Amino acid sequence: MIPGPIEFEPEVMDAMCVPTPSHVAPDFIESFGHSLEMMKLVWMCPSGQPFVVAGTGTLAMDIAGSNLIEPGDCAMVISTGYFGHRFANLLRRYGANVTLLTAPVGDIVPLEEIEAALKKKKYKLMTSTHVDTSTAVMNDPKPIGVLGKKYDVLTILDGVCSVAGEEIQQEAWGIDVVLTASQKAIGVPPGLAMLVVSPKAMSVWKNRSQPVGNYYADWENWLPIMDAYLQRKPSYFGTPAVNLILALEKSLQLILKEGMEQRIERHRKVGHAFREGLKSLGLKIIPLNDGAAANTLSAPWFPENVQGSALISGILDEGVIVAGGLLPEIKTSYFRVGHMGMVGKNEVVTTLKAIETSLIKQGLRLENDACLKTALEIL
């Protein structure tokens, strides 16, 4: 129950666990092309250009930043945690003049503050993190997309912990780049960096005055590959992670079979049930209100007079693995629980019971199974 790698559907693992095919075999070409087409449906961006490259979510960030930033460009980073600050550092590597808007822990940056910054000077792009995995704080990308259009600024959404788990309508909301990694709500083992890029962002890239400062990430190298697979033709720049792409095709098929609206609603219900279960145990979460709370993971504070490491160890004794804190300034004060992808009623109940049992072992007096009743009423 960590926020990635998550548990994966058996059908996805079956699709992956086959003898490794050639990257130019006809069956694999069909699988890769089909996966790229389905990405447009999951991202809800029919005019977008999909990219799938072997790598992590950080590589997806690097691909977006390196292709769209040139030295001296102004970039705004809207940060709600660890990964917002990572994006700021990344953009600086490519010569960007970065304005960092940072929210207090558990909160989001107000739209008024974002717009005030946009009025002061011209920015080439701005980034935001849909769900920051370090804090479980969720931004609303839609109004940020509106501001991007209003001020003619490219918008990049870090959707590593949100794509296929939280609502994203990339094209309708005017988001230029939405990026993610395979091991979270997309439901594929780690190893794929994934992006869908708007025509506007592709046009900005094509009109660069300087070469991209990252050879591996350069769309000049990857765009012909993606186009070839979409046309069901063989091509080569770097060997793709063929088994992972076979798994990706199966996972995207399962996601679309469930239906995007139904899938997002299921994650909302699971997230709400889990948060309410935590509240019934007396646990507070980092997000300051439900509107800023992610549905793909939760980040509860350790209760007073409870040793965090002992609590996590006790949860493990009950057969459930959760993650420790990540944000440096509060790292030892909280823990994180992922509930995305295939997670449903059974996983929620098992995890809440494990937390309850561990808290009782730590000396807390709790009403037995009250958290389960609370969660099950919602589910």
For 338, phi then psi, to 5°, come to -85, 140
Distance, in Å, from the CA atom of 155 to the CA atom of 348, rounded to the nearest integer, reads 34
The alpha-helical segments, DSSP class H, found in the chain are 10-16, 26-43, 57-68, 82-93, 111-120, 141-150, 170-173, 199-206, 219-230, 242-258, 260-280, 308-317, 345-361, 370-378
What are the contacts of 88-93 at 24+ separation with CB within 8 A?
90/58, 90/61, 90/62, 90/65, 91/65, 91/127, 93/65
What stretch(es) of the chain map to CATH 3.40.640.10? 10-258
Tell me whether strands 97-102 and 74-79 are parallel, antiparallel or unpaired: parallel
Percentage of the chain beyond pLDDT 90 is 99
> CA 61, CA 177: separation in Å to the nearest integer?
10
CA 204, distance to chain mean position in Å, is 24
CA distance 375 to 301: 19
CA distances from 191 to 60, 180, 325, 341 (A): 11, 11, 23, 17
Look at residue 318 in the predicted model and tell me its pLDDT.
Answer: 97
Angle, in degrees to the nearest 10, between helices 242-258 and 260-280: 90
Does domain 260-378 fall under CATH 1.10.3660.10? My reply is no
Q: Which residues contact 4 (CB under 8 A, 6 or more apart)?
A: 133, 161, 181, 183, 184, 190, 338
Burial of 84 (0-12, 13-18, 19+ CB in 10 A): buried
Could you tell me the mean pLDDT of each successive run of 10 residues in the chain, 379 residues long? 97 97 97 98 98 98 98 98 97 98 97 98 98 98 98 98 98 98 98 98 98 98 98 96 98 98 98 98 96 97 94 98 97 98 97 97 91 96
Residue in the block written with tokens 């995890």: 351
Q: What residues contact residue 12 under an 8 Å CB cut-off, 6+ apart? A: 187, 188, 247, 250, 251, 254
Q: What class is the 10-258 domain?
A: alpha beta
Rounded CA gap, 362 and 379, in Å?
28
Tokens standing for residue 201: 């962002």
On whether the CB atoms of residues 296 and 135 are closer than 8 A, the answer is no
Beta strands in 122-189 (DSSP E): 125-129, 131-132, 137-138, 154-158, 177-181
Decide: 50 and 194 in contact? Cβ < 8 Å.
Answer: yes
What is the pTM for the complete model shown? 0.97
Instruction: Dump pLDDT digits (tens) for 179-232.
Output: 999 999 999 999 999 999 999 999 999 999 999 999 999 999 999 999 999 999
| Cα→Cα distances 209→89, 127, 235, 287, Å | 23, 22, 27, 42
CATH 3.90.1150.10 residue spans of the chain: 260-378
Rounded distance between C-alpha atoms, residue 165 and residue 61, angstroms: 19
Q: Distance between CA 312 and CA 355 in Å, rounded?
A: 8
In this structure, are residues 84 and 129 in contact, taking their beta carbons and an 8 Å threshold?
Answer: yes
